[in-house]
Structure 1
Amino acid sequence: MGINPVTGVAGREEKGENTLHHNLVRFTHILRHLGMRVSMAETLDAYRALTLVDLKSREKVKAALRAVLVKKAPDRQIFDLAFERFFVPPEDKEQQYLLRRQQEEKERQRLAKAREKLEQVLSPWSMEIKFNQEDIQTFVRMPLQEQKRLTDFIRRMRGNPVNSPGELIARVMQSALNYWRYYLLKTQGEEARRQLEAELTGETELDDVISGVAADFYRDPDDQLLYQDMQHIGLAEVEKYTLTLERLSRHLANRLSRRYRQSSRRQKLDMRRTIRRNIAYGGSPLKLCYRSRRRHKLRLILICDVSASMARYARFILQFIYGLSNAVQYIESFVFSEDMERITPHFRKNEDFVTVMTDLVNASQQWGKTTDFNTALKTFHVQWGNLLTADTLVIIVSDTKTITPREAARELAALREKVRDILWLNPVPARQWSNLPGVEVFLPHVRMFECYSLHQLESILHQQLLK
């Protein structure tokens, strides 16, 4: 036995992978890749907590780790699913390993048969096309009827002694595979957006846990709403989604309305953070934390795209911002498509949001039209330029799809010079931004975030508004 100099607890002098601290580090690594925030200090706290409970009791170990590592309600189920999948008996891990090897072998055989099938189709022309791994995987994932359709089409092509169709066949084959690669990426990408956001580690055992949690997590209806694309919320789910949105908005509003914030200046002692920071020293207050009064409440300007491609997202985002009105001293709200409209007076009627939105949509001249961000920003500068101050945060909600994006970028640059910061919430997945001309020209002037789900919206605003 030895005393750990960092945690101050006794631990066995054992090394290797099958140790408490090694498995705990791997578990927290999984949680981070599933989107949970787990710091090194919290990992040390978790290790110390485990030394205080009976390690033979699975429920006590789970409760101790949950108490230290889980900070938000949505993270509770992520933690539970990850715990059940990671901490399993050795025989179950061995069984999972064998199953994984069988699946890998089965996939290898499928790819080998697909390569052989393609080469057989091309053999009458004595030509070789070097298919890469991605081409073979695309062919395997194509529907069986489409595979047959492609191979039958190639077989029907016959050369002649004057002009061999070999080059043409190669182009046809490659074009067909490229089309299906794009189609499958698009359709499966939409399906992936309905699952828990998770990043893989590259380590097979950990990735199995992460993938399993991401799949299981989405089966819970409440969590499905949090992570689902706003555009795919069905009519039957709108009421429940609205209640969830209001709850998250109220929670953030309460955080924004707090009178104190963290501070490095020696003013009022922050007992909670002081105790937390000194756990590693056995509770002795060697390092003190302070807090100070907030200087002023935030000034916020919302500019929301309500064109045809954005109207669905705009409705939910406007409602979220509407719920923050009591916590933020100054909120000005605008919508745009072909031009800019100020909608702040609608939000000051003290009516329920459904009534407000109904009146707003009926009175608006912009809802559901095409997008001209350049004209909209010019109108904003002329009519409401006096609203821009050095302590104003501007939030723009748009998919960047607009005519004359370069002219709009110049107007955006002028706007950026007058405000504290510009946050751009983009409902298009980040992996598709390279296909949007507007993203490239707008990025130098804003901080852009992927934002198509309620979870992303709440996380972004929570992090940015509480700075």
Structure 2
Amino acid sequence: MAEGRLVENLMLFARTLRAAGMPVGPGRVLEAIRAMQAVGLERRDDLYWALHAVFVNRKDQQPLFDQAFHVFWRNPRILERLTQMLLPEVRAELDRTKQEEMSRRLAEAMQQEFPGEQQEEEAPEEEYEFDAALTWSNKDVLQTMDFEKMSRAEMEEAKRAIERLRLPVNQIRTRRFRPHHAPGRADMRRSLREALRAGRDSIPIKWRRQRRRPPPLVIICDVSGSMAQYSRMVLHFMHAVTNDRDRVHAFVFGTRLTNITRYLRTKDVDEALEKVGQAVTDWQGGTRIGQCLHFFNRDWSRRVLGQGAVVLLITDGLDRDNAEGLQREMERLHKSCRRLIWLNPLLRYEGYAPKSQGAQAMMPHVDEFRSVHNLESLRELADALSRPISRRQEGVSEWLQMIE
């Protein structure tokens, strides 16, 4: 018992999860030890679910934990050795084939924790382009890299870039007025009040101008299984936008619609996403776009789509219900807002055409059709929203001609 190394290996496992991007600290390790003592070591499933209950607190962490557990604790005699409390150090002997089967984040985390067991390969020389100032940067590469192909370090850098992203929306005129010094519309109330206050025989003319303010922004994001590779980064984008400006409303949907606005207003992004993970019960499941938009139009449209709201609909358009009722709900949504922008990550493919039933039902009722798969696409979205608001763009008409 004195020579057992179970706790040491459990710490290595926790460090691997932390290196892969999961929020694991010393407190979680202590809880994991107590959980293992409580459930015992007779069954592998008990060990799996005991550690799962401690380390996993969001649905999007489930695939990474499952993969890490089966790779780290893959010794066929693991139960016998755990029972004897004499588990030797588990070394992740990752050959090239197994490394390709694992996700990039987990592979890098295992390499970081167990560098001595890896097959060393000659790293290709990086080529840098020098400008006149003799400086170089990889930011341009990161801007155009697909979220799906990013490593763990690149994802962290992308998250920091998204936090600095600002989403200016062109301001629109409201029905309210504000005082203004330039001649224009006369403010008779202020003019008469000023004349009475000064006791003048003449009336000094005061001016006013219509107040401008950004319209409400409504983000409706698909978090189904087909959007799993992008939903994490999109949620970081939604958190940054929600904390950057007022009157932002955020919704996610898979098989049901969930309002996550109040969770995203938490300043700490990790805490905010943890609350979102607890509230969303259909993460990485099926997609019912028509039904979820029906619930939005019925329960939320009158609350959040007033004063010329702009709607960002983020989905790949793949509907498990064969687009039942989707065209009707899209038409109603389009008529309820000032501008409807469809963001589709599948648009990154050169040969993509919106020919699925869901896409064909949605396309006639959107004002803009854009991709959302890298940082550059998010910046292009920010530039588009800063331009004057207008209905149907020319690009949408070209897509409509393609599917007709």
**TM-score, structure 1 length as denominator?**
0.43
- Higher normalized helix content (fraction of residues): 1
